[in-house]
Structure 1
Amino acid sequence: MTDTVAAGLPVTVESDGTPVLELIESRRAELRAALVEHGGLLLRGFDVGGVDGFDRVVRALSGEPLTYTERSSPRHSIKGRVYTSTDYPPEEEIFLHNENSYQAGWPLTLFFYCIQPPGTQGATPLADVRQVYRNIDPEIRAEFERRRWMLVRNFHADFGTPWQQVFNTDDRDEVAGYCAANGIEAEWIGRNGLRTRTVRDAVHRRPGSDVPRWFNHATFFHVSTLAKDLQEALLAMFGEDGLPTNTYYGDGEPIPADVMDHLRAAYRAASVRFDYRTDDVLVVDNMTAAHGREPFTGPRRIAVAMAEPYRPDSRRDPIEQQEQ
């Protein structure tokens, strides 16, 4: 199937009084097709029924929600496999990215539930990564397709998310086994430090589509994407080799500053936003739309869930498995 960038991201489905689960049951195939075509659905005006109701929406549309593994940001479980959105300070922007694109596998579908909207800003901006791909200079794209990209992570005992939490174990052998099975090079540093290196493709194609998508964390994790004061503080504390996260070309060579500027501009040019309302449910096709977070004021309570695991080297499409 050949797809093109569809107008309207996200597609808004307004309540007509039909309960949300009844709507999904009667229009599930239509909703899923629109999600894949456009990259996002906004279910608005429904009485979702709190976190428990949100969990039922996830299951009705996409099946059982996933556990958050190999995590790269702080968040905690609200209930079961429904989590808080990233627990970063409200004044910080979270740059556009595709969930878990640095891993060997990732969820195809993401869900965001607005329990309480922020006072100002706080949107979840979206960018169609088919358009991001088109926005990038062909020579830069070709360089990444040839060389791929590398993520280097350093886990420090007294800073950031510890490796025990990232890998959900304190057993080094289990970590080594997980890394070996998922294409991650692990190096133990000192008594309790860990450095990992991962090389991944920068461009992917979604199951059922031959359209290329800019699907990676090369921009998100690059030190230059951080706020200037945070960049300087981290470099002063750890040096480049010890940064909690940083990215390179797949051969380990630095990515030039002008290339990083160009990539960030490509995302921003494709970005769209909307203001949350209470009980909004935003559904995102993770291989079609990148997402981020604006800075905000006020409380802003957004619950998240992930579903439909996909791994490119698996033999069967998980969506097809669910539909059978």
Structure 2
Amino acid sequence: MNTRLTWAPAEIGPSDVGARPTAAGLIEYLEGATDLDERLVAEKALVFRGFGVTEDTIAGVMDRLLPNRLAYVHGNSPRTKVGSNIYTSTEYPPEFTISMHNELSYAHSWPSRLLFCCVLADMTGGATPVVDAQLWLESLDDDVREAFAGGVRYTQNLHGGFGLGKSWQDTFETDDREVVDEFLRSTEATWQWHDDGGLRVSQLRPSTTKHPVTGAEVWFNQADQWHYATLGDETAKAMAEVLRAEEMPQSVTFADHRPIPAEYVLQVRDRGLELAVDVDWRLGDVLLIDNLLVGHGRRPFQGSRRVLVGMS
């Protein structure tokens, strides 16, 4: 049997490591742990459960697990910044599934680690599914993998303060165009400022990558999330009536500008969700993942849910 088919995140509780069942106890354990880097690569994802971490104490935990926390610059998901490079998880309506993805895989640089912490869990549903990204790649049909081998081209249309999607100010966390220009020059992107204050950004990215430690080749792109076909029939139809493909807030093609068939991205989306393992949140849980080895998403929910995220 393929062991990846039975993979699940490793769970670590206070009794497993001889720590107090508090956030301070978790911090003390992390300060003395010397094998966490190796264990994260081996396990791909770790769940710290039973330590009662809160919104007031998560920064101390992140300081130990996410050295050099990153700002969510050039991110395309709606989030709220709540602390020093601490954000809410993607703020999509609760009735929707967020499909599997590796954070910022469409960008020139991406975080190697993500940390999630559940600080409100008064809900039904709302699990964070995680998927082995190597298994995800292997699950795709040969013709789909071959079609994506040349990479993908992402395009963003960011408005200047009013319009569909995100503004460039929110995306780059600045109101200064020169700061944006400087950032984009370092990313091998092409971009154009429009007379209406908007910004169009295009970048070519590979569809897979190799983990620097294990050498495993993994699926590592967000073509399915950027493709109109995953908006749903009615939403896609409504947007197509008012916008050309190149005017969408975000869109994706193959590297040579050929359209990606809808059935390809739907296969990618569905296979990832089918193979995913759900992390069912308990209040105070912390989930740490290797962002190359593991994709993540969100199940729909009813009620109140608040999950914070940091990146490193």
TM > 0.5 fold call: yes
- Which residue matches 1:20? 26
Pairing partner for 1:135 from 139, 153, 157: 139
- Which residue matches 2:156? 153
Pairing partner for 1:71 from 60, 71, 75: 75
Query: Using the alignment, how far apart are the partners of 1:28 and 1:11 within structure 2?
Result: 17
After superposition, give the CA deviation of every residue in 1:82-139 in whole Å (9 maximum; x if it has no partner): 1111122111221111001111111111011111114211111111101011111233
- Which residue matches 1:285? 290
Query: Using the alignment, how far apart are the partners of 2:289 and 2:130 within structure 1?
Result: 9
Q: Matched residue of 2:224: which SS?
A: coil
Decide whether the 8 Å contact of 2:66 with 2:310 is kept in 1: no
Query: One-letter code of the match for 2:237?
Result: E
Q: Does 1:124 align with 2:133?
A: no
Which runs of 5 or more structure 1 residues have no equivalent in the other structure? Answer: 308-324
- Which residue matches 1:8? 7
Decide whether the 8 Å contact of 1:6 with 1:38 is kept in 2: no
Deviation at 1:6, TM superposition (A): 8.1
- Which residue matches 2:174? 169
- Which residue matches 2:239? 234
Query: Using the alignment, how far apart are the partners of 2:125 and 2:131 within structure 1?
Result: 17
Query: Using the alignment, how far apart are the partners of 2:37 and 2:233 within structure 1?
Result: 40
Query: Using the alignment, how far apart are the partners of 2:269 and 2:80 within structure 1?
Result: 29
Query: Using the alignment, how far apart are the partners of 2:176 and 2:52 within structure 1?
Result: 44
Decide whether the 8 Å contact of 1:7 with 1:38 is kept in 2: no
Query: One-letter code of the match for 2:33?
Result: R
Decide whether the 8 Å contact of 2:224 with 2:266 is kept in 1: no
Task: Give the number of equivalent residue pairs.
Answer: 301
Query: Using the alignment, how far apart are the partners of 2:115 and 2:67 within structure 1?
Result: 12
Deviation at 1:241, TM superposition (A): 1.8
- Which residue matches 2:45? 40
After superposition, give the CA deviation of every residue in 1:150-207 in whole Å (9 maximum; x if it has no partner): 1111123322211122122333333233222201111223321221111101110111
Deviation at 1:232, TM superposition (A): 2.4
% identical equivalent positions: 33
Query: One-letter code of the match for 1:99?
Result: E
Which runs of 5 or more structure 2 residues have no equivalent in the other structure? Answer: none
Q: CA RMSD in A?
A: 1.8
Query: Using the alignment, how far apart are the partners of 2:217 and 2:263 within structure 1?
Result: 23
After superposition, give the CA deviation of every residue in 1:220-257 in whole Å (9 maximum; x if it has no partner): 21111123332223222323221111111011110112
Query: One-letter code of the match for 2:294?
Result: A
Decide whether the 8 Å contact of 1:155 with 1:161 is kept in 2: yes
Q: TM (normalized to structure 2)?
A: 0.90
